[in-house]
A and B are shown apart, each in its own frame.
Chain A
């Protein structure tokens, strides 16, 4: 088998990989709005635990794959004005909706009807974006555009040092919270 898989052979893998992702999100309890809102209120650290572990495990593995020529990076451009404005809008929307896009879709599968209302809202948001894209592309994306840069190249600090730092600082914080019964 030649990797990566391309063309129509890739289609069933879309279902399979999506299935695994949705399954993991439900088992992590992230399809429960209470867990997401609990994280935003700093009462329940489930979302941070899941994301931190995924970043460290995924990051080291993808780094090794990339070093061996088995995976390509897909770095989103740091169009900083658009990224910061988008992140602020996203944060406001997430607090109101109680889901991020992935957990919202997964929640739909667990019977969450309000997640469905939010998914319809997401389609509306995407349509609004498509019709404002020309203006955004011309006026916002070029401002403070730094290109598709990675932290190791930008800082000179090697990849594995970043992951080690994340592991030590992230898990120290989470273990401390666990110990205090706060996470």
Chain B
């Protein structure tokens, strides 16, 4: 289906419409077919990341404590499909950014700098705290924006639709409050 057909179909003057997000979203949809049928393991991040966190915890609390923990007993730290998937995500984005000549070290993003200033320490501290809260929430809910937000919703799971709606409502309220006065993006 060409842009022209869609234009005629919708009656929208579309010179400006960028179809990339729809195409990439469609790509993620097709990837979902493959992971369901071939790997029997829906797209998701935080279950695998929890297993990796078991390794990260070992130097601090000792391997024995990790192996005896009731959560890691069911989310076993191991070199698995899920943990390699995480490595693949980093590599794929790296390849795409290099291919598009968009690879760039970034300490403080523009949207943050406009609102909270240029301090990398402040941005790193906020990212650390935000990441920790986000991950705790994802584990409490049993999934993230991928595991619930895409894989769960596409299976029409009740839990995933509730998660996604509550999550975006909260994120939009908090995000608008935090960044509301930072001008245009």
A contacts, CB < 8 Å to B: 3-5, 10-29, 31-34, 37-38, 40-46, 49-59, 61-62, 65-66, 70-80, 82-115, 117-131, 133-134, 136-137, 140, 146, 148-152, 154, 159, 162, 175, 178-179, 181
Contacts and interface: CB of A to CB of B under 8 A. Distances in A.
Contacts of B80: 11, 14
A105 to B, nearest CB: 5
Contact of B160 (A42, A76, A109, A122): A76
A15 B91 contact: yes
Interface in B110-162: 110-112, 120, 123-162
Contacts of B146: 100-102
Given A3-B37, A151-B158, A125 B127 contact: no
Given A41-B180, A52-B25, A22 B130 contact: no
Most buried by A among B28, B46, B86: B28
A107 B124 CA distance: 14
Contacts of B10: 175
B104 A110 contact: yes
B170 A91 contact: yes
Contacts of A62: 32-33, 36, 154-155
B36 A96 contact: no
Nearest to B145: A100
Contact of B40 (A4, A133, A137, A140): A4
A12 B165 CA distance: 34
Contact of B179 (A37, A122, A136): A37
Contact of A118 (B71, B128, B148): B128
B158 A19 contact: no
Contacts of A131: 69, 71
A104 B45 CA distance: 10
Interface string B70-95: 11100100011111111111111111
B88 A19 contact: yes
B166 A27 contact: no
Interface of B: 10, 12-14, 16-17, 20-22, 24-43, 45-46, 49-50, 52-54, 56-57, 60, 69-72, 75, 79-97, 100, 102-112, 120, 123-176, 178-180, 184-185
A8 to B, nearest CB: 10
B22 A49 contact: yes
B51 to A, nearest CB: 9
26 contacts: A5-B38, A11-B81, A18-B84, A18-B86, A18-B92, A21-B85, A23-B96, A25-B93, A34-B109, A61-B32, A62-B32, A76-B147, A76-B160, A80-B159, A91-B172, A94-B175, A97-B131, A102-B146, A105-B93, A108-B93, A109-B97, A122-B134, A129-B139, A131-B71, A149-B157, A178-B16
A162 B161 CA distance: 12
A15 B132 contact: no
B45 to A, nearest CB: 4
A121 B131 contact: yes
Contacts of A3: 37-38
B85 A18 contact: yes
A39 B125 CA distance: 23
A87 B56 CA distance: 25
